[in-house]
């Protein structure tokens, strides 16, 4: 479990850097904390290919928060065009900080870097997705300047 792996990390400042291919296992563990499906032997190759595409894309980036040289957080940032806007929109579909790091500044640093990147790309807004049950995270996002601006409706499309 990611939390156990980082519980003994010395109290050092958090550093934000661009995610690399070598971060795939850590990112998978962090995303599992969000409730995303765990990577299995059957899904690893496809998951790694998607992750590598994400890192190579001009319209996306991944950010890693590290403390003491260990990944403690991940943020996925995408830049997308909207038909109704002349400027791009920045979108965060995934932001996770391991449980042991909650309240220690890693999420703030990840968001600050995402805002910086979005502004440098001329984005007109930053949108962040979060599941209803993540109430603590929602309070954090509101403190960071986000507003609860709407609902997201999902229709699963299983092809099996």
Check which CATH number belongs to the domain holding 80 and give it. Answer: 3.40.630.30
Q: Which domain covers residue 33, as residue numbers?
A: 2-143
- Per DSSP, 50 falls in state H
pLDDT of 37 reads 85
Length of the chain: 160
Cα–Cα distance between 74 and 66 in angstroms, integer? 9
Enumerate residues 6+ apart whose C-beta is below 8 A from 120: none
Helix (H) or strand (E) holding 9: none
Whether 151 is covered by a domain: the verdict is: no
pLDDT above 80 for 121:
yes
pLDDT of 8 reads 44
Instruction: Tell me the three state secondary structure of residue 37.
Output: coil
Whether 153 is covered by a domain: the verdict is: no
Whether 148 is covered by a domain: the verdict is: no
> Of 56, 131, 118, nearest to 91 (Cα)?
118
Our count of domains for the chain comes to 1
pLDDT of 130 reads 74
What are the structure tokens assigned to 62, written together? 């991944």
Whether 139 is covered by a domain: the verdict is: yes
């Amino acid at each position: 479990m990611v939390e156990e792996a980082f519980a003994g990390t010395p109290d050092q400042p958090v550093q934000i850097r661009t995610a690399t291919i070598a971060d795939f296992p850590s990112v998978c563990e962090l995303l599992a904390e969000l409730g995303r499906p765990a990577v299995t032997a059957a899904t690893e190759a496809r998951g790694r290919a998607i992750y590598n595409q994400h890192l190579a894309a001009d319209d996306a980036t991944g950010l890693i928060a590290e403390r003491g040289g260990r990944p403690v957080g991940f943020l996925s940032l995408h830049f997308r065009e909207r038909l109704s806007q002349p400027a791009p929109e920045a979108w965060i579909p995934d932001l996770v900080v391991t449980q042991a790091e909650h309240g220690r500044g890693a999420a703030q640093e990840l968001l600050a870097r995402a805002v910086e990147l979005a502004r440098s790309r001329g984005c007109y807004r930053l949108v962040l997705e979060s599941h209803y049950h993540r109430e603590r995270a929602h309070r954090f996002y509101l403190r960071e300047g986000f507003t609860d601006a709407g609902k997201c409706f999902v229709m699963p499309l299983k092809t099996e």
